[in-house]
Every structure is written in structure tokens, then in C-alpha cells.
Amino acid sequence: MKGLYILLAAILITSCQNQSKEDINKAKQASIDSMKVEINKQRVIDSMKTEMAKIKEEQKVESQKVVVVHEQAANGNATTTTTTKKKGWSATAKGAVIGAGVGAATGAIVSKKKGEGAIIGGLAGAALGTGTGAVIDSKNKKKE
């Protein structure tokens, strides 16, 4: 009788192991399939990002082109030259953003009421940064 119980227990254990191996294999295959789907989705996303970057770069180059026309009085021919001008943030905008960030951080650190201090500091910093940036912009215009 004991032998029969041992035999049944051994059969039960081995059949459960086979079932669990099948379940593990199915789970692995499902995981692999879902990873393949995600990889394909990511490829599409990456290709779209690449195309969008190309389009933005082309638009940026087009917006930076300036046409300069030189007229020559001697022979009556006109020549056209295309040059690119670099566009970016003005010193006023940079000053405002940097001032607001530094002012907000300082206000939050110094004040007992963190939120209120950050708001007041940010506004004060933005005002000072804007003023400083405007001075820098005016000096740069005078140089040109």
C-alpha cells in the first residue's frame, strides 16, 4: 500500500512538473512575442522621429537664409548671395529665465513659506534678469 502511495505521488509530481514546464514555455513565448511587437513599434517611432528631425532641420535652414543683393553700376549685372544668420534667444529672454529660476530657488530656500517665497523670488529674479539682459542687448546692438 505504501508503495502505491509513493508511486502515485511520484506520478503526480512529474506530471505537475511537465505542466509547469509547458506553462513556463508558453509564458516565455508570449513574452518574446510582446517584445517583438514593442520593437517593431519602436522602429516606427524612431523612423518618424528621424523624419521629423530632418524636416525641422530643413525648415531651420530655410528660415535662416538671408538674400543679399549687390548691384554693380559698372556693368549693370546684379549678383545674389545667400548667407545664413544664426538665430537664438536674446540676452533679455535668457536673463529673464535665469533670473526667474535663481530667484525662485533662493526665495524657496530663504522664506519660511516655501511656495510664497518661490513665487516672489521668481518674479523679482525675472525682473532683474530682464533688466540685465536688456542692457546686454543694447550693448551688443551698439557693437554691430
Mean per-residue pLDDT over the chain, rounded: 79
Given this model, what pLDDT does residue 22 score? 77
Distance in angstroms (rounded) separating the CA atoms of residues 52 and 50: 5
Q: Read off the pLDDT band of 75 (50, 70, 90).
A: low
Q: Tell me the whole-structure pTM to 2 decimals.
A: 0.40
CB 53 within 8 A of CB 91: no
Task: Answer whether residue 121 shows pLDDT above 80.
Answer: yes
Residue 69: enclosing H or E segment and its boundaries? strand 65-71
Candidates 69, 88, 89; CA nearest to 79 is: 69
Given this model, what pLDDT does residue 80 score? 55
